[in-house]
Structure 1
Amino acid sequence: MKLGTMCALTMLSAATAAYAQEKGGVIDIATVGEPPTLDAMVTSTDLVGMISQHIFETLYTFDESWNVAPLLAQDLPEISGDGTVYTIKLREGVAFHDATAFDAADVVASLNRWLKLAGRGKQIAPNVKQIEAIDALTVRITLAEPYAALPALLAFNNSAAIMLPSEKQADPMADVVGTGPYQLKERRPDQYIQLVRYDNYKPRTEKASGYAGARNAYLDEIRFVPAPDASTRLEGAVAGQFAYTDSLPVEQMDRLSGSKSDAVLLQNFGWLMMRMNAKQGVLADMRVRKAVQKALSETDMLAAAFGDQKFYAVDGNMYPDGYPWRTDANVKGNYDLADTEASKTMLSEAGLETPVPLRILTSRQYEFHYKIALVAAEYLKLAGFDVKMEVVDWATLTQRIQNPELWDIFITHSPFLPEPALINILSPNTVGWWNTPEISSAMSALTGTTDQAKRIAAFGNVQSLIMEQAPMIKVGNFSALSAKSPLMKGFWPSPWPSFWNVSLDD
């Protein structure tokens, strides 16, 4: 069957029609905007991860229970007794979209690029002694010290260790060539990204499980269509103009009832944060970051963003109930305080004259980000900050935050991740640039052992430092709403929706 547009693509596709087609047809996916790049190594943006995972693959991935599982690797790595040597066997018969064979030389080149360019690669780079090809289908990674989170880092789909041909490792990326079930056919900025089935793709033979197992390319074509306005996405979903519509306002869920799209609600999807620039500007002073922390009402920010409490939780812990990583460490006294007078006193004690200039960078493509920023700005003004709101499109925001001269705070969010070392604020090289001896020591304790009890205790220290040094403010937990066509079968709701194993039906 086919679900897609009959006319030239614009930001909004035309009304769709379903009819018989041998290999599954065409779908349009409405996204929050134009991705800044398709190179999943150089950004931790979820939008890039969602699109690029169809083109590029990693050595490992996650199954439906969020366990690390092999993807381009044949099996899970063999790890030496001291935890410093990882031997990785690769799958045979895998080919890139340019028809070249995937082998160990590609892995070595790609991992070296990842260590150099990716925030999560830089996180482990100082610990990597050597990456070498033992033979055409075997790679060995030698570390200076054990690093328990390495398989999870190699599995993650943003700031990702994607595999590229060894001859195509340019920075910036010049050739969009991966091993995935779909390949890039055309990109028209602000109109669409067109992916088509890669007919020589070799799926794994295991049953599909989450992102793991078989990735069957049933669809002929996937088109990602940027629709930056949340209302536009909602109306498109109601009218059935898209097979899938990403990131809808949860308070509008009732609008999908009886429409041509089904609501997809991911309960306790993730957490919201105000990321602070700890490298440059007024917030490089931890005392000023603590003044920001003291001033805010997370209760009011979340209520403004989501309305109904069934869609959010006022929770300062880094993980919700049900995760082994959940801890109360140092949350009390550092969360949901709304004490603007105390904040003003803290600014004075830091030697600053009020009002203190403060730039908040946000986007309306995620409307809840913008609403959180509005409420935060009012509290911070009461505390003695001169707040300047800078509202830009998401692609511009993701580029601007790379320059510490251009912002003080930006609003973002993350799904809850199965491995806490994946939380990108914990990498000293990621935007925010939080890098203190205390967090370095705490992260070494977290990643330096495979003993789960010790790792859980170590993460308690990590959370305590987040609260104490305030590199960011955790706003709270939230649920995420998207919409899908009832014609789309085999879809697995997930933080980074994927469209392999998806087909269309009457």
Structure 2
Amino acid sequence: MNLPKSTWKLILIMFLALIVIVGCSNDSNNNSSGGDGQTANEDNEDNEEEETKKKSVLNIALDATPPTLDQPKNSATATRDVSRLIFESLITTDAELKPQPMLAESYEVSEDSKSYTFHLREGIKFHNGEEMTSEDVIASMKRWLEVTNLSGSIFDGAEWTADGDYTVHLELATPSALTIDTMATSKNAPAIMPKEIVENAPAEGVDEIIGTGPFKLEEWRTDAFIHLTKYDDYQMRDEEPDGLWGRREALVEDIYFHLVPDSSTRLAGLQSGEYDFAYSIPADNYDILQNTDGVEPVLVPGSNTILKLNNVERMAGDKEFRKIINTALDYEEIMLAAFASPDFYWLDSSYMHKDVLEWASSAGNENFNINDPEKAKQMLEDYGYDGEEVVIMATRDYEYMYQIGVVVNEQLTNVGINSRLDVYDWPTLDEMESKTAEWDIEVMGISMTSTPPQLLMLSPTWAGGVNDEKITGMLKEIESSTDLDQAHQLWDELQEYAWDYLPIINLGGGNTLYGITDKVEGLEVPLGAVFWNTSVNE
């Protein structure tokens, strides 16, 4: 067919235009799928590989109900681990237990260790939306000194003053090299709260749980759960996470602390995926955790394990009878029953935790783990013991404490002491402690402290605790010392004396076994578990 040239030109132009249109259409499809020649399906697959989907909820099985969330009022692990997500302090500690500023931007100490200036971070908001100022800090610090047993006499006669909204001055009556270390404690921590809440707090504790932390309290349903939610206006520090210091980021929207006192239920819930993390799994379940797909064991540096002796009344109120109790006990057998394997515990005479190297001491070691039942029997006869009852208190909320109570009861019975084991849930045990007419021995764990004066077991204000002038006097000498070498020497002398006086029996310590699923990322366990910077994969 012969067509005019003009017609052929028109056909050619139309054909080229069609090619351009098709090409643009393909380019458009490629660009919408991510470019670089990838299809939409290929791009989606790459994104899924690069970015794992995260859950918005972290479910934790807690072994004991916190007696309170009022952080300065209680030293229980359950109180500490929940409340530290809600509250913050002026000073905290890094991974080496060195003090670092938290709500303080910085601080200064005078050469004579009497004057302290804290420069506060600006723009910090409480969970009620109000900005933190120096007035809130001063009110909170004064209350901490009133309600805690851990500050000793360092702050006796101290004056707190404000210089504007963001500067706080502390002037001590007596200089001390231990001031900042004491303020940095994670146990009975000096939580900063709104002034109006602090000043209206009843004796039993604050009515409102409001702090500055990355999570806020949403609901506490009795015997069921404690629900925390992400605080959207939280102001993080810029430093990399280091112990309890640095960036604290809420990576989940909600945290549920399920109150699960039965250890087998915690373990089963972890295995089924109901819980992402479980507290205090009995040590003899370590192999089960290791051999369960998707679950891992976590060994957390534990507390010192002690037998608190009632120093004020009953049989244990007599120092000579306390010595009989100590002579009768086999510490190794006790700790093995509690922790199942020597890999999970240590025997140590040091009142201070073995990891606080600056203060660890072996003084008084000759009275540690005497383990001489026959001598104890002779001591009982010489004492004129007439079958008076010795009552031991423990809880099953912390399984190791119960196991210790069982073995101590057996060992005392075997030497002829009329002993009895009373078992309570944790809140009831906490209440029973003040009823010193009803018990002789309480099984306890004592959390790590930075300095000896912070040890509850040496405080005369602790229910049933020691009230000895020499111990109290030596603690005050340590507190008022500005020479750390001298303070260390004084501590050795005090511990030597304490092992003869026996306000407690320090057995050593144990690592706590927790369980975690492999979907949890970022969890760290400095001084117990912390759940900021922690996420959960789907």
TM-score (ref. length: structure 2): 0.85
Quote how far apart the aligned CAs of 1:51 are: 0.4
**Counterpart of 1:482 in structure 2: which amino acid?**
Y
Quote how far apart the aligned CAs of 1:505 are: 2.7
Which of 394, 411, 434 is matched with 1:402 structurally?
434
Q: CA contact under 8 A between 1:133 and 1:140: conserved in structure 2?
A: yes
Which of 46, 50, 63 is matched with 2:77 structurally?
46
Percent of pairs with identical residues: 30
Quote how far apart the aligned CAs of 1:271 are: 2.1
- Find the counterpart in structure 1 of residue 138 from structure 2: 108
- Find the counterpart in structure 2 of residue 85 from structure 1: 115
Quote how far apart the aligned CAs of 1:347 are: 4.5
Q: Does 1:327 align with 2:351?
A: no
Counterpart-to-counterpart distance in 1, 2:332 and 2:130:
54
Q: CA contact under 8 A between 2:54 and 2:537: conserved in structure 1?
A: no
- Find the counterpart in structure 2 of residue 62 from structure 1: 93
Counterpart-to-counterpart distance in 1, 2:348 and 2:158:
40
Counterpart-to-counterpart distance in 2, 1:324 and 1:133:
34
Counterpart-to-counterpart distance in 2, 1:243 and 1:120:
33
Which of 323, 328, 339 is matched with 1:306 structurally?
339
Judging changes above 3 Å, is the alpha-carbon distance between structure 1 residues 416 and 119 closer, same or farther for their aligned structure 2 residues? closer
Quote how far apart the aligned CAs of 1:322 are: 7.9
Quote how far apart the aligned CAs of 1:21 are: 10
Counterpart-to-counterpart distance in 2, 1:349 and 1:331:
25
Q: Does 1:264 align with 2:298?
A: yes
Judging changes above 3 Å, is the alpha-carbon distance between structure 1 residues 224 and 311 closer, same or farther for their aligned structure 2 residues? same
**3-state DSSP of counterpart to 1:499:** coil
Judging changes above 3 Å, is the alpha-carbon distance between structure 1 residues 348 and 143 closer, same or farther for their aligned structure 2 residues? farther
Which is worse superposed, 238-247 or 101-110? 238-247
How big is each residue's C-alpha offset from its partner over 1:314-355, in whole Å with a ceiling of 9 and x where there is no partner? 3323343782323221111x12122334334445555x5321
Q: Does 1:473 align with 2:505?
A: yes
How big is each residue's C-alpha offset from its partner over 1:421-445, in whole Å with a ceiling of 9 and x where there is no partner? 3322122222332121211222123
Which of 145, 148, 158 is matched with 2:177 structurally?
148
Judging changes above 3 Å, is the alpha-carbon distance between structure 1 residues 386 and 361 closer, same or farther for their aligned structure 2 residues? same
Task: Work out which of the two has the higher radius of gyration on C-alpha atoms and give 1 or 2.
Answer: 2
Which is worse superposed, 315-324 or 170-179? 315-324
Quote how far apart the aligned CAs of 1:135 are: 2.1
Which is worse superposed, 202-211 or 281-290? 281-290
Which is worse superposed, 335-344 or 256-265? 335-344
- Find the counterpart in structure 2 of residue 456 from structure 1: 488
TM-score (ref. length: structure 1): 0.90
Query: What aligned pairs does 1:210-221 form with structure 2 within 5 A after superposition?
Result: 210-221=243-254
Q: CA contact under 8 A between 1:249 and 1:368: conserved in structure 2?
A: yes
Q: CA contact under 8 A between 2:394 and 2:401: conserved in structure 1?
A: yes
Quote how far apart the aligned CAs of 1:401 are: 1.1
Query: What aligned pairs does 1:174-253 form with structure 2 within 5 A after superposition?
Result: 174-253=207-286
Q: CA contact under 8 A between 2:220 and 2:227: conserved in structure 1?
A: yes
Quote how far apart the aligned CAs of 1:233 are: 1.4
Q: CA contact under 8 A between 2:63 and 2:260: conserved in structure 1?
A: yes
Structure 1 gaps, min length 5 = 1-19
CA RMSD of aligned residues (A): 2.1
**3-state DSSP of counterpart to 1:380:** helix
Which is worse superposed, 214-223 or 431-440? 431-440
Q: How many matched pairs?
A: 482
- Find the counterpart in structure 2 of residue 337 from structure 1: 370
- Find the counterpart in structure 2 of residue 3 from structure 1: none
**3-state DSSP of counterpart to 1:299:** helix
Counterpart-to-counterpart distance in 2, 1:108 and 1:238:
46
Quote how far apart the aligned CAs of 1:276 are: 1.1
Quote how far apart the aligned CAs of 1:22 are: 8.2
Judging changes above 3 Å, is the alpha-carbon distance between structure 1 residues 151 and 465 closer, same or farther for their aligned structure 2 residues? same
Q: CA contact under 8 A between 1:192 and 1:224: conserved in structure 2?
A: yes
**3-state DSSP of counterpart to 1:360:** strand
Counterpart-to-counterpart distance in 2, 1:132 and 1:322:
32
**Counterpart of 2:461 in structure 1: which amino acid?**
N
Higher share in helix: 2
- Find the counterpart in structure 1 of residue 350 from structure 2: 317
**3-state DSSP of counterpart to 1:111:** helix
**Counterpart of 1:375 in structure 2: which amino acid?**
V
How big is each residue's C-alpha offset from its partner over 1:405-425, in whole Å with a ceiling of 9 and x where there is no partner? 332211111344343333221
Structure 2 gaps, min length 5 = 1-50
**3-state DSSP of counterpart to 2:392:** strand
Quote how far apart the aligned CAs of 1:478 are: 1.6
Counterpart-to-counterpart distance in 1, 2:153 and 2:167:
21
- Find the counterpart in structure 2 of residue 26 from structure 1: 57
**Counterpart of 2:181 in structure 1: which amino acid?**
A
How big is each residue's C-alpha offset from its partner over 1:94-145, in whole Å with a ceiling of 9 and x where there is no partner? 0111111111111111112112111224x23762332222321111222221
**Counterpart of 1:305 in structure 2: which amino acid?**
A
- Find the counterpart in structure 1 of residue 157 from structure 2: 128
Quote how far apart the aligned CAs of 1:244 are: 1.1
**Counterpart of 2:537 in structure 1: which amino acid?**
D
**Counterpart of 2:56 in structure 1: which amino acid?**
G
**Counterpart of 2:283 in structure 1: which amino acid?**
V
- Find the counterpart in structure 2 of residue 12 from structure 1: none
Q: Does 1:274 align with 2:274?
A: no
**3-state DSSP of counterpart to 1:101:** coil
Q: CA contact under 8 A between 1:272 and 1:474: conserved in structure 2?
A: yes
Counterpart-to-counterpart distance in 1, 2:360 and 2:381:
35
Counterpart-to-counterpart distance in 2, 1:156 and 1:35:
19
**3-state DSSP of counterpart to 2:125:** coil
Judging changes above 3 Å, is the alpha-carbon distance between structure 1 residues 416 and 39 closer, same or farther for their aligned structure 2 residues? closer
Counterpart-to-counterpart distance in 1, 2:465 and 2:511:
28
Counterpart-to-counterpart distance in 1, 2:197 and 2:54:
31
**Counterpart of 2:134 in structure 1: which amino acid?**
A
Judging changes above 3 Å, is the alpha-carbon distance between structure 1 residues 141 and 405 closer, same or farther for their aligned structure 2 residues? farther
How big is each residue's C-alpha offset from its partner over 1:280-319, in whole Å with a ceiling of 9 and x where there is no partner? 3332222222221111110111122223222222332334
- Find the counterpart in structure 1 of residue 528 from structure 2: 496
**Counterpart of 1:68 in structure 2: which amino acid?**
P
Judging changes above 3 Å, is the alpha-carbon distance between structure 1 residues 331 and 210 closer, same or farther for their aligned structure 2 residues? same
- Find the counterpart in structure 2 of residue 9 from structure 1: none
Judging changes above 3 Å, is the alpha-carbon distance between structure 1 residues 134 and 322 closer, same or farther for their aligned structure 2 residues? closer
Which of 452, 469, 476 is matched with 1:437 structurally?
469
Q: CA contact under 8 A between 1:265 and 1:482: conserved in structure 2?
A: yes
Which is worse superposed, 126-135 or 110-119? 126-135
